[in-house]
Amino acid sequence: MLDLAIIGGGPAGLTAGLYATRGGLKNVTMFEKGFPGGQITQSSEIENYPGQKEVVTGMDLMQDWPEQCSAFGLKHEMNEVTKITKSNDIFTLTLIDGTSQEAKAVIIATGSVPKRANVKGEDTYFGKGVSTCATCDGFFYKGKEVAVLGGGDTAIEEAVYLSKICSKVHVIHRRDTFRAAPNTIEHMEKANNIELILNSGVDEIIGDTSGMTGMKIKNNDTGDISNLDVPGVFVFVGRDVLNETLKQEDGSFICNMNDFGEVIVDLSMKTSVPGLFAAGDIRIEAPKQVVCAAGDGATAALSAIAYLG
Would you name the residues annotated as active-site residues? 133, 136-137
201 interface partner picked from ligand FAD, ligand NAP, none, CB below 5 to 8 A per type: ligand NAP
Using the minimum distance from each CB to ligand FAD, give the nearer residue, 44 or 200.
44
- Sole binder of ligand NAP in the list 83, 174, 216, 247 (CB under 6 A): 174
- Sole binder of ligand NAP in the list 237, 246, 257, 300 (CB under 6 A): 237
Instruction: Name the packing angle between helices 290-308 and 11-22 (round to 10°).
Output: 40
Span near ligand NAP by CB under 6 A; candidates 10-18, 93-101, 236-244, 261-269: 236-244
Encode 250-270: b = buried (16+ Cβ within 10 Å), e = exposed.
eeebbbebeeeebbbbeeebb
Q: Which of 125, 210, 230 is nearest to 170 (CA)?
A: 230
Using the minimum distance from each CB to ligand NAP, give the nearer residue, 21 or 154.
154
C-alpha R_g of the chain: 21
| Residue 211 contacts ligand NAP per CB under 6 A | no
- Sole binder of ligand FAD in the list 6, 13, 107, 254 (CB under 6 A): 13
Asked whether 29 and 297 are in contact (CB, 8 A), the reply is: no
| Residue 81 contacts ligand FAD per CB under 6 A | yes
| Residue 262 contacts ligand FAD per CB under 6 A | no
- Sole binder of ligand FAD in the list 289, 302, 307, 308 (CB under 6 A): 289
Please state, in angstroms and rounded to a whole number, the distance separating the CA atoms of residues 199 and 95. 45
- Sole binder of ligand FAD in the list 117, 147, 169, 293 (CB under 6 A): 293
Main-chain dihedrals φ then ψ at residue 197, nearest 5 degrees: -120, 95
- Sole binder of ligand NAP in the list 26, 48, 78, 127 (CB under 6 A): 48
276 interface partner picked from ligand NAP, ligand FAD, none, CB below 5 to 8 A per type: none
Using the minimum distance from each CB to ligand FAD, give the nearer residue, 213 or 289.
289
Burial of 112 (0-12, 13-18, 19+ CB in 10 A): buried
Smallest gap from residue 220 Cβ to ligand FAD (A) = 26
Cα distances (Å, whole numbers) of residue 57 to 72, 132, 268? 26, 16, 31
Size of the site for ligand NAP (CB under 6 A): 20
Q: Which of 137, 27, 40 is nearest to 73 (CA)?
A: 27
Positions touching ligand FAD (CB under 6 A) are 7-13, 31-34, 38-40, 42-43, 46, 48, 80-81, 109-112, 154, 242, 245, 280-281, 288-291, 293
Positions touching ligand NAP (CB under 6 A) are 48, 117, 149-155, 157, 174-175, 179, 201, 236-239, 288-289
